């Protein structure tokens, strides 16, 4: 039977909520069963990563001729509650028609190529929000001069959280003008998460 995902598009002016609640149930089982579940978990994660990679390739193929950027692809949930999210952006901001275009074109290709295994899912297409994620070197180059929030993998000067103006980026290093006029530098490998900081 052919799978037909439920697709819907949205244009958000704010970032989708990042918080989530995971309820973990521990089941006492023989050692062989625990190993089996562990291997199955690895397999599911591999399939998820492969799906995200394939969807991103398809989305970029559709988006680039239209001058649109694929910021991020997320795949979450399970069963009938699976949600595939594609975040898009472009200079000047994303319109409703941009979201609708990506939703229709990418959704059709995903159907034809059967690119998302495992049954039905919801496809959501949106802008990355006012505090968009920065992950690629091109992002840090593009948003120089903007205020950012940085979370480091390991503390620097006993801090993992930093805020300030992104003063520069080059050769894998970013320069941040922090509070009090201080200048600090991090390598991209040190950064766990980076976002633009919106100020009202």
Predicted confidence at residue 3, as pLDDT, reads 43
DSSP 124: E
Q: How would residue 43 be classed by pLDDT, with cut points 50, 70 and 90?
A: low
pLDDT tens for each residue of 128-157: 888 889 988 989 999 999 999 999 999 999
Answer whether 117's CB lies under 8 Å from 165's CB: no
CATH 2.30.30.180 in the chain is located at: 137-196
DSSP 15: P
Choose the CATH number for 6-15+29-126 among 3.30.1340.10, 3.40.50.261, 3.40.50.620, 3.30.300.70. Answer: 3.30.300.70
Gap between the Cα atoms of 176 and 145, Å rounded? 10
Longest dimension (CA), the chain: 63
> Which class would CATH give 137-196?
mainly beta
Count of Cβ atoms closer than 10 Å to residue 154 Cβ: 7
Answer whether 11's CB lies under 8 Å from 103's CB: no
Q: Is the four-CA dihedral 125, 127, 131, 135 of positive or negative sign?
A: positive
pLDDT tens for each residue of 66-124: 999 999 999 988 877 889 999 999 888 888 899 999 999 999 999 999 888 888 888 99
Gap between the Cα atoms of 67 and 181, Å rounded? 37
Tell which wins on pLDDT, 157 or 4. 157
Structure tokens at 7: 């697709």
């Amino acid at each position: 039977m052919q799978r037909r995902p439920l697709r819907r598009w949205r244009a958000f002016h704010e970032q989708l909520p990042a918080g989530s609640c995971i309820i973990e149930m521990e089941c006492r089982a023989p050692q062989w069963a625990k190993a089996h579940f562990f291997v199955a978990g690895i397999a599911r994660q591999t399939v998820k990563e492969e799906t995200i990679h394939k969807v991103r390739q398809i989305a970029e193929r559709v988006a680039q001729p239209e001058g649109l950027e694929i910021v991020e692809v997320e795949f979450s949930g399970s069963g009938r509650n699976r949600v595939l999210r594609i975040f898009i952006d472009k200079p000047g901001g994303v319109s409703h028609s941009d979201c609708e275009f990506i939703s229709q074109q990418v959704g059709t290709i995903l159907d034809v190529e059967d690119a998302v295994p495992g049954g039905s899912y919801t496809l959501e297409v949106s802008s990355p929000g006012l505090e968009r994620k920065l992950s690629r070197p091109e992002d840090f180059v593009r948003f120089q001069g903007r205020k950012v929030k940085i979370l480091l993998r390991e503390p620097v000067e006993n801090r993992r959280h930093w805020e300030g103006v992104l003063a520069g980026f080059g050769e894998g290093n970013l320069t941040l003008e922090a509070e009090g006029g201080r200048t600090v530098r991090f390598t991209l490998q040190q950064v766990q998460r980076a976002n633009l900081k919106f100020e009202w």
